[in-house]
Amino acid sequence: MNKELVKKLAELLKNRKLKKELRIMEVCGTHTAEFFKTGVKDLFPEGLSLIDGPGCPVCVTPNAFLDLAITIARDYDVIVATFGDMIKVPSSYSSLAKEKADGMDIRIVYSPLDAVKLANDNPGREVVFLSVGFETTAPSEAIAILEAEKQGVKNFSLLSCNKLTPPAVEALINADEVKIDGFIIPGHVSAIIGRKPWDFIADKYGKPGVITGFDACDLITGVLSLIDLLEKDEKSVKNEYRIVVRENGNEHAMRIIEQVFDVTSSVWRGIGDIPGSGLKIKSQYSRYDAERKFPATPPPVKEHPGCRCGDLLRGIITPPECPLFDKVCTPENAVGPCMVSSEGPCSAYYKYWRR
């Protein structure tokens, strides 16, 4: 990183005089963390507010998904393969960490292909991979299914909770619960889907957006660019991450997603059921669909009293406004997923803001 350039950009942002108050939303959990970690949020000029959005895949995953995963594991004695950030996330009544302590066979993997290998190495056991993520991880999960089919692995399946981000942004705009003047748009999601799918923000709703990366230089450039668009009343979506993001995205990755998944509705924590915001496994790959392969009836969904994670993900409150934040709810004793995930707004505030 060019430190001198960052210093110059930092001065530009810090000394920027706004014509009016502006409220911008970052739609990416990594952006949430990096705005605090890099100190860029501290450079915001007077009148510029940052609203946290639903950009943390772990955070927006509803309790019902983990309830189902745990029920399948109990009923069918499967090996659960998962990314590490799901281990401590509370379900309605338990968590994967608690279940593992009680003897459930839960393995942390670093890619969906690791779960396919795990199934190969344990031919006498069924392996269920918990597929949680946005467009960024969907290609690798699709590849895992294709690879399992290629290798003839029959004891591997995937429990899908994959989500698509543009419909969630549109749902927030339509809900009109908070004033959002413009959007900082996730760079790695856009690397997959491209710039074009975000045009609806400007074309349909008259709001600008800027796609940007994740280091301090990227973040400052993105915020300055968005301020310029807002003050010029320019309704467009600008790509400030051109080194990674193309107009039409990664077309090969998109073809792989479309080969394995169909678009469906999906439930987002705090937002509800959003049409066209989820991915389900196509019927031709149903033998790899854990929900079809292992019918199960989890207990009724229960939310955690006092946790306002859903309100955070809609930008209605900030973490310090939650009555549990830094009191009952800490990273060591997380009540909700917004404190568990490193991309969650509560985690970012706890690690960086409160200090």
| Alpha-helical runs (H) found in the chain | 3-14, 29-37, 57-60, 63-76, 96-101, 112-121, 138-151, 165-175, 187-193, 200-203, 216-231, 251-260, 290-293, 309-313, 337-340, 345-348
Structure tokens at 97: 């960490």
Question: How far is residue 337's CA from residue 168's CA, in Å, rounded to a whole number?
Answer: 18
First to last CA, the chain: 26
Which residues, 6 or more positions from 291, have their beta carbon under 8 angstroms from its beta carbon? Answer: 68, 159, 160
* pLDDT score at 342: 87
Q: Is 354 helix (H, G, I), strand (E, B) or coil?
A: coil
**Same fold: 3-57+175-239 with 58-164+249-293:** yes
Instruction: Report DSSP letters for 256-290, one per residue.
Output: HHHHHEEEEEEEETTTEEEEEEEEEE-GGGGGGBH
* pLDDT score at 352: 87
Buried-exposed string 26-56: b where 16+ CB fall within 10 A, e elsewhere: bbbbbbbbbbbbbebbebbeeebebbbbbbb
Instruction: Report CA Rg, the chain.
Output: 21
Question: How far is residue 236's CA from residue 226's CA, in Å, rounded to a whole number?
Answer: 10
- pLDDT by residue for the chain (355 residues), tens digit each? 678 888 999 999 999 999 999 999 999 989 999 999 999 999 999 999 999 999 999 999 999 999 999 999 999 999 999 999 999 999 999 999 999 999 999 999 999 999 999 999 999 999 999 999 999 999 999 999 999 999 999 999 999 999 999 999 999 999 999 999 999 999 999 999 999 999 999 999 999 999 999 999 999 999 999 999 999 999 999 999 999 999 999 999 999 999 999 999 999 999 999 999 999 999 999 999 999 999 999 999 999 989 999 999 999 999 999 999 999 999 888 999 999 998 899 999 999 875 5
- What are the structural domain ranges in the chain? 3-57+175-239, 58-164+249-293, 309-353
Neighbours of 299 (CB within 10 A): 11
Domain at 3-57+175-239: CATH architecture = 3-Layer(aba) Sandwich (3.40)
**Cβ–Cβ under 8 Å, residues 124 and 105:** no
- Name residue, tokens 């990273």: 331
**Cβ–Cβ under 8 Å, residues 261 and 137:** no
CATH 3.40.50.11740 fits 58-164+249-293, yes or no: yes
* pLDDT score at 355: 52
